[in-house]
Amino acid sequence: MQALLNLLFGGCEFEASLFPRDLSLVLMRGPRFQLRAALQLGALALTDPNIATAILRVRRKRLTYLTVPALLDLHEAAARVEANNLPGILIEAGCALGGSAIVLAASKRADRPFYVYDVFGMIPPPSPNDERDAWSRYEEIRMGRSAGIGGDPYYGYQTELRERVTRNFERHGFPLERANIHLVQGLYEDTLYVAEPVALAHIDCDWHDSVWTCLTRIAPHLVVGGTLIIDDYADYSGCKKAVDRYFADKRDRFAFEMRSRLHVVRLH
């Protein structure tokens, strides 16, 4: 039983260092919502077994820092895009080993383009816009002291990460070309230029400046009804600062929903 609970909701070293700042988010991660996620996953196993399998498999293979509730939320947002036939591409900024991106790949229409941005190596340092939480985490990584998911080697210390991620997609049934998935390697500052409508973006890149770059370059292209999912809003103060600053004068145009992560939907 404990092994099952760990697989579903825990077992990630990263989660031990969470810094929840918002009571609603603490509640969203509480036992009631975990039970709800277990029921959701059971229902998904009946209606869409491929997605349920993908979610459980990326957890079991230790390819993601996201919990099952967060992966279910990600899937639901992508499924809504397809059900409403929204125009636009999918984006993930921050892929690490590819676990959350594989769930998005499983949830999207095969011909919808999906761009995945990452350095595919060591995460860049935080900036003076970040606070001690980010800097102490970065110091742990920089000093070679970071454990990986479930005791694996930390992904940032692995060589040929881009090739590993490519293989992870393939092993889960998503050869990049056939699944219309594009890995874009480099710092967002240099690589993340969007010139078409965006239906859904998963922004999972920890630090203030990375999140700020994503927001300023992606959000203006979000279609009406499209969603931004901000992974670290409750976990890193710099991420929260970037999001609060970016949306300060745009609140009337977006709906903000705190699920297992922060979801921001464009209203008009």
Ligand X SMILES: C[S@@+](CC[C@H](N)C(=O)[O-])C[C@H]1O[C@@H](n2cnc3c(N)ncnc32)[C@H](O)[C@@H]1O
Q: How far is the CB of 36 from ligand X (least distance, A)?
A: 21
Interface residues for ligand X in 177-216 (CB under 6 A)? 187-188, 204-207, 210
In a 3-state reduction of DSSP, which class is residue 156? helix
User: Which whole-number Å values give the CA distances from 29 to 72, 158, 238, 266, in the listed order?
Assistant: 13, 31, 21, 25
Q: Is 174 in the site for ligand X (CB under 6 A)?
A: no
Helices (H), 148-222: 161-171, 188-191, 208-218
Q: Considering only 30-38, 40-48, 58-66, 131-139, which stretch makes contact with ligand X by CB under 6 A? A: 58-66
Dihedral angle sign, alpha carbons of residues 212, 19, 95, 85: negative
E strand intervals along the chain: 89-93, 114-118, 181-185, 198-203, 222-230, 254-258, 262-266
Q: Is 95 in the site for ligand X (CB under 6 A)?
A: yes
Q: Using an 8 Å Cβ cutoff, are 214 and 102 in contact? A: no
Q: How far is the CB of 242 from ligand X (least distance, A)?
A: 12
Q: How far is the CB of 264 from ligand X (least distance, A)?
A: 17
Q: Toward ligand X, which CB reaches closer, 111 or 237?
A: 237
In which element (H, E) is residue 138 found? helix 132-142
Q: How far is the CB of 64 from ligand X (least distance, A)?
A: 4
Q: Is 126 in the site for ligand X (CB under 6 A)?
A: no
Q: Is 66 in the site for ligand X (CB under 6 A)?
A: yes
In which element (H, E) is residue 31 found? helix 31-47
Q: Is 118 in the site for ligand X (CB under 6 A)?
A: yes
Q: Is 262 in the site for ligand X (CB under 6 A)?
A: no
- Show the binding pattern over residues 5-44: x = contacts ligand X (CB under 6 A), - = does not: ----------------------------------------
What is the binding site for ligand X (CB under 6 A)? 64-66, 94-96, 99-100, 118-119, 123-124, 187-188, 204-207, 210
